[in-house]
């Protein structure tokens, strides 16, 4: 399949009433496809993931399109979206401690590379915090600087242990033993 066919198939899967946060619909995507603006069409499709739970097959079409167009960052985002379609979404407002207060000294990479430990309030049999691992994707930025606050998406390595999270709860991020930040949950939806 070529890029146009992959994108057209993905567009056909989007419900007509889905609107992105920027007000884009699948009609807009088709218009860009008609004008051979494939990269724009792909970016718009990848933003049409709110208001419905896209199936993994939809994300696979977007991943294949991104790879054919040599767009590794877009492909990485679509892989993240595919994972969320399977396991659910955890979004939070993360506040990193400044370096002077024991926080990170370097910016936190934002594309799902970092896998810090998180204290969700669980305890081990010995009574110690039961820290869990989750990847971090910083929304709308390539990184998050020490002392900064930003919206993030979390990709838990054991998603079933995160199912109790609710908006408004606060969890703590650790790198090693000390806490380096806190995250207020803003969205938590379980997998299908």
CB 118 within 8 A of CB 179: no
**E strands present in the chain:** 88-96, 108-109, 117-119, 132-138, 143-144, 149-156, 170-174, 179-190
Confidence (pTM): 0.90
Reported as a single tens digit per residue, the pLDDT across 144-168 is 999 999 999 999 999 999 999 999 9
Q: Does the pLDDT at position 36 exceed 80?
A: yes
pLDDT category at 52 given cuts 50, 70, 90 is: confident
Supply the mean pLDDT for the chain: 93
Structure tokens at 42: 């792909």
Q: Nearest CA to 42 among 56, 53, 58, 55?
A: 58
Least confident of 34-43, 49-58, 75-84, 109-118: 49-58
**Is 191 a residue whose pLDDT tops 90?**
no
Per-residue pLDDT, 115: 95
């Amino acid at each position: 399949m070529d890029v146009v066919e992959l994108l057209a198939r993905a567009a056909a899967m989007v419900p007509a009433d889905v609107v992105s946060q920027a007000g884009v619909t699948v009609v807009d995507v088709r218009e860009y496809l008609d004008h051979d603006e494939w990269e724009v069409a792909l970016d718009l499709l990848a933003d049409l993931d709110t208001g419905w739970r896209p199936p993994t097959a939809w994300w696979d079409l977007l991943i294949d399109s991104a790879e054919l167009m040599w767009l590794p960052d877009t492909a990485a985002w679509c892989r993240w979206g595919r994972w969320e379609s399977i396991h659910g979404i955890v979004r939070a407002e993360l506040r990193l401690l400044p370096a002077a207060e024991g926080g990170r000294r370097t910016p936190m990479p934002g594309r799902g590379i970092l896998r810090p430990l998180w204290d969700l309030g669980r305890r081990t049999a010995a009574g110690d915090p039961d820290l869990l691992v989750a990847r971090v994707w910083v929304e709308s930025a390539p990184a998050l600087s020490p002392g900064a606050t930003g919206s993030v998406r979390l990709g838990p390595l054991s998603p079933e242990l995160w199912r109790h999270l609710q908006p408004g709860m606060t969890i703590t991020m650790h790198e090693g033993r000390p806490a380096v930040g806190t995250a207020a949950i803003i969205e938590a939806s379980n997998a299908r």
